[in-house]
């Protein structure tokens, strides 16, 4: 099996590659070749020496997509994107990377299939941003995809393309509408949702964090470990069960900022909570107010996707995976 990971330097991409390095048969067939591609030079785990190659690429650049599929990977994980806040602030860049790059990838697969039969499994990282207000109390699988941001629009269009190319037999696509991934390791990025991770990750390491919204803000979450599980399950599942609607809302946890802080207090104590500084940001508040808060991810559950049960589990997993199993 040849596996291609586009966006391999991103947080989920790195963790996905790490999981593949620890369990190379996790997809059901041994990996004989692994290609890691990203705009930032990917780093292949030492355990994959001999089968992993890296490429520093711009997916939106002419010829890049064709180069990526020329070796006919069996599974393509497409995680490459610029984040929501950046896509909203930089209109042209958002469409070039998040939409044009994705379209060029699908077209490259089609051109390769025209030369000789070829139909890879393509797992696409979509987003809950494909939905727009007004929302019901709990969004089910039949709710309209009508985004209110450029990022959500770019993801929604790619979902439609993924379904159409799958319908035509060009590829076998699965779109994963990811919850906000929390707790993200590393440093803050330009994602409007970044504070959800910041207010837990930084205090857990003894650093101050800024909370730009009210504690009553509710959102839909899953941890990084669950996110990796989503991609692995989508890569190895029997996709005939999905039907023509190829994009799925992933399971998650509906919680408020207050719920997050309460879980932080239970696990790390009042000293950690005191490191959260309230500083309202009207722009972030406006963006977040247009996001969905709760889902009934029944289709995904029935297809075998799973997420965490509560924020205590998310925090404990972060401590185990990122902090060596203990608080500093």
Alpha carbon distance 164, 162 (integer Å) = 6
Whole-number Å distance between alpha carbons of 66 and 106? 10
CA 215 to CA 226: how far, in whole Å? 25
Paired residues of 177 in beta bridges: 126, 249
Q: H helices within 31-100, ranges in order?
A: 64-69, 84-89, 91-94
Beta strands in the chain (DSSP E): 2-6, 33-38, 52-56, 75-78, 121-127, 172-178, 180-181, 209-211, 218-222, 247-249, 253-256, 276-278
Please name the helix (run of DSSP H) or strand (run of DSSP E) that holds residue 95, with its range, or none: none
Does residue 151 have an active-site annotation? yes
Q: Which of 95, 118, 151, 165 is catalytic?
A: 151
Cα separations (Å) of 21 from 3, 27, 60, 135?
Answer: 12, 12, 28, 40
- Which residues carry out catalysis? 151
């Amino acid at each position: 099996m040849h596996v291609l990971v586009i966006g391999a330097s991103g947080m989920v991409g790195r963790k996905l590659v790490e999981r593949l390095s620890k369990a190379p048969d996790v997809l059901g067939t041994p990996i004989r070749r692994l290609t890691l591609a990203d705009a930032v030079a990917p780093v292949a785990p030492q355990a994959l020496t001999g089968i992993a190659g890296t490429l520093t690429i711009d997916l939106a650049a002419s010829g890049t997509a064709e180069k990526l599929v020329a070796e006919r990977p069996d599974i393509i994980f497409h995680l490459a994107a610029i984040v929501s806040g950046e896509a909203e602030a930089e209109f042209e860049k958002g469409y070039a990377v998040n939409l044009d790059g994705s379209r060029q990838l699908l077209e490259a697969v089609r051109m390769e299939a025209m030369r000789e039969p070829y139909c890879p499994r393509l797992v696409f990282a979509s987003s809950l941003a494909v939905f727009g207000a007004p929302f019901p109390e709990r969004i089910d699988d039949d709710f309209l995809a009508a985004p209110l941001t450029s990022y959500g629009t770019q993801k929604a269009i790619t979902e439609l393309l993924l379904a159409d190319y799958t319908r035509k037999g060009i590829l076998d696509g699965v779109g994963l509408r990811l919850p906000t991934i929390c707790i993200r390791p590393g440093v803050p990025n330009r994602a409007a949702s970044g504070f959800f991770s910041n207010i837990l990750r930084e205090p857990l390491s003894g650093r101050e964090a800024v909370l730009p919204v009210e504690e009553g803000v509710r959102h839909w979450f899953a941890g990084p470990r669950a996110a990796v599980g989503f991609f692995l399950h989508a890569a190895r599942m029997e996709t005939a069960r999905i039907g023509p609607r190829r994009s799925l809302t992933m399971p998650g946890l509906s919680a408020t900022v207050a719920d997050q802080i309460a879980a932080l207090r239970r696990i790390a104590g009042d000293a950690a909570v005191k490191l959260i500084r309230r500083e309202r940001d009207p722009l972030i508040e406006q963006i977040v107010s247009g996001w969905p808060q709760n889902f009934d991810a029944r289709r995904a559950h029935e297809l075998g996707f799973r997420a965490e049960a509560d924020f205590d589990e998310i925090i404990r997993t972060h401590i185990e995976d990122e902090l060596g199993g203990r608080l500093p």
